[in-house]
Amino acid sequence: MPSISSYFSLAYLGLLLPLTIVVYAAAPQKIRRWALLIFSWLFFWSISGKLIVYLLFSILSVHHIGLWLSMLQEEGDRLLKAADRGERKALKAQCQRKQRMVMTFGACLHIGILLLLKYGPFFVLNINRVFRALGLHVNLTVPSFALPIGISFYTLQAVSYLFDVYRRKIPADKSMFRLALFMSFFPQIMEGPICRYEDTAGELWEAEPIRFQNLVFGAERILFGAMKELVLADRLNLLIQNVFTNYDTYDGFVIALSAVCYTLQLYMDFSGTMDIVIGSAQIFGVTLPENFRRPFFSRTISEFWKRWHITLGTWFKDYVFFPLSMSKPLKKLTSRARKRLGNHFGPLLSGSIALFAVWFCNGLWHGAGWHYIFFGMYHFCLILIGNMIEPLVLSVTGKLHISRSSLPYRCFQIVRTAVLVCIGELFFRATGLRAGFAMFRKIFTNFTLATFRDRTLFTFGMDQKDYLIVFIAVLLIFVVGLLQEKGIAIREKLAGKNLAVQFSAYYALVLFIVIFGAYGSGYVPVDPIYAGF
């Protein structure tokens, strides 16, 4: 099996995926699920080699802990049934305590492995810094671990499974292989989406036959994703690499432009990957959750995060935000604050504590670096400020007779949100927090259009014609997004047209990618950005 560097590689699109489809289609129903599992493990082995043992360990332990929880729940139920009414309350608390301990053990085990492998060096490095600042001559050895690709994704799936079993939302799975397929399904293991057991495990294990419509729709989506990556994300790569690596040699205008380009690249890379992932799964009759819902149509930062990396946001909401805000101390704080600060600011105070935890984790999840933590805190502050000033904005717009649903006001909100997102992404992509601040400062202190006027702007990795292609491709994606926003299902519409129209659309898209794709000599494809998180 050749090593696969990304879902856009020829090794994946030209070999692994077609081979899996052929084997899956040819196999009888009972064998299909095994074919999926074997190809998933082959895929993981090809990207992570012997580090596959981490995945196998996770599967084994999650399965075992799930069964353990289930056994405790059954035993608790039996004891509660047999117990006297007076003893039930104490017995119930005792049983729940046991179950909570097992669940906590399982969650800590998995998150602990993630913390150790991904953040161990970062933590030790910072502990050493603290020692140095305190004048202590202690220097801990910074560990170095090989990180299996996708660990951040499958770990969150594992933890969500344990939580859901604990909450009795789902029964513990007796079949280890069904659970294994849920955790290792090859199209989504490298970059998500972060699936829930109840949504995908059954469908995967069912292993429906390949249907013509699914095959066509899946292939269309893969093609669209490839266009985003090859025409846009890869084309922008040279400019972004140049500017973010040597930011001190560029002026504020080029830096601002690069921040916009990076935001675009990140979106095209990640959403393009999701198109390939979801399209691949659709071919096998599996509906994976959407990770993007046209985020640049968002009017607020809160809305943006409901449309960008949706499955990560809902994971943090369900497994960090709600448990924290429903915890006893925060409930108490809410009721006290409500009395003192009123109905708007009271709940906001305790909600902000939970929100802080969510955004701290969100920042850290993206990588072991202070600029990632800053990125999380930046969005936390924006959301918090947005919540705080909402009554004020309502009253000001009301007094000025500005209709909040009017097109100009909505456009203003959309542009404002996009600008704030681009600023956040500037810090996110910067080589460090100091570099991020230096770049941000330059936008205001060294803004000049000189590079545009003397045309040197077109020598930094993209010429005029490259910018034109970027504009055309963005326009195409914008129009598709606009139609989707209006509820128009493009693929279904196309399926209703005659073959000549369908073929023309496919040919146009294929030729657009082949001719305008940024591949081959002179281009450096962007590394799968989210696979590194």
Partner 1 sequence: MRYAKRIIAFLVFVCGLILLLLAASFLFMPKNNMKEFGMEEVSANGILGEKENTVDVLVVGDSESYSAVTPMQIWKEQGYTAYVCGSSGQTLDYSMTMIRRAFEKQKPKLVFLETDAIYRKVSKSGALLTKLGNYLSVFRYHNRWKSLSWNDLKGHAEFTWTDDYKGYEYNNAVAPCKNQDYMIPSGTAARIPELNRLYVQEIRNYCEENGAKLVFLSTPSPVNWNYERHNGIAALAGELSCDYIDLNLQNEQLQIDWSKDTRDKGDHLNHNGAVKATHYLADYLNQTNLLTDHRGDPEYEKWNEALKRYEAAVSSAGNGQ
User: Using CB under 8 A as the criterion, which residues of the chain lie in contact with partner 1 when the complex forms?
Assistant: 2-3, 5, 9-11, 14, 212, 463, 465, 499, 503, 506-507, 510-511, 514-517, 519-522
Contact between 91 and 75 under an 8 Å Cβ cutoff? The reply is: no
Closer to partner 1 at the Cβ: 412 or 503? 503
CA-closest candidate to residue 518, choices 230, 270, 196: 230
Rounded CA gap, 348 and 353, in Å? 9
Closer to partner 1 at the Cβ: 260 or 505? 505
Closer to partner 1 at the Cβ: 343 or 521? 521
129: left (phi over 0), alpha (psi -120 to 50) or beta: alpha
Rounded CA gap, 198 and 200, in Å? 6
Contact between 214 and 282 under an 8 Å Cβ cutoff? The reply is: yes
CB of 3 to partner 1, least distance (A): 8
Take residue 67 and report the two structure tokens written for it: 């069964």
Q: What is the full DSSP assignment across 325-367?
A: HTSHHHHHHHHHHHHHHHHHHHHHHHHHHHHHHHHHHHHHHH-
CB of 111 to partner 1, least distance (A): 35
Take residue 65 and report the two structure tokens written for it: 């802990």
Rounded CA gap, 98 and 76, in Å? 10
Take residue 215 and report the two structure tokens written for it: 């095959």
CB of 511 to partner 1, least distance (A): 6
Closer to partner 1 at the Cβ: 408 or 520? 520
Closer to partner 1 at the Cβ: 448 or 464? 464
Closer to partner 1 at the Cβ: 310 or 473? 473
Residues with Cβ < 8 Å from 434, sequence gap 6 or more?
A: none
Closer to partner 1 at the Cβ: 18 or 342? 18
Closer to partner 1 at the Cβ: 478 or 507? 507
CB of 524 to partner 1, least distance (A): 12
Contact between 67 and 107 under an 8 Å Cβ cutoff? The reply is: no
Contact between 70 and 165 under an 8 Å Cβ cutoff? The reply is: yes
CB of 463 to partner 1, least distance (A): 7
Closer to partner 1 at the Cβ: 385 or 514? 514
Rounded CA gap, 440 and 442, in Å? 5
Closer to partner 1 at the Cβ: 177 or 519? 519
Contact between 427 and 255 under an 8 Å Cβ cutoff? The reply is: no
Contact between 244 and 531 under an 8 Å Cβ cutoff? The reply is: no
Rounded CA gap, 495 and 490, in Å? 9
CB of 438 to partner 1, least distance (A): 31
Take residue 195 and report the two structure tokens written for it: 């699936």
CA-closest candidate to residue 284, choices 388, 200, 362: 200
Cβ of 292: how many Cβ atoms within 10 Å? 20
- 391: cis peptide before it, omega within 30°? no
194: left (phi over 0), alpha (psi -120 to 50) or beta: beta
CB of 452 to partner 1, least distance (A): 20
Closer to partner 1 at the Cβ: 34 or 503? 503
Rounded CA gap, 168 and 96, in Å? 12
Distance of CA 356 to the CA centre of its chain: 19
CB of 465 to partner 1, least distance (A): 5
Closer to partner 1 at the Cβ: 212 or 444? 212
Closer to partner 1 at the Cβ: 132 or 465? 465
Rounded CA gap, 394 and 400, in Å? 10
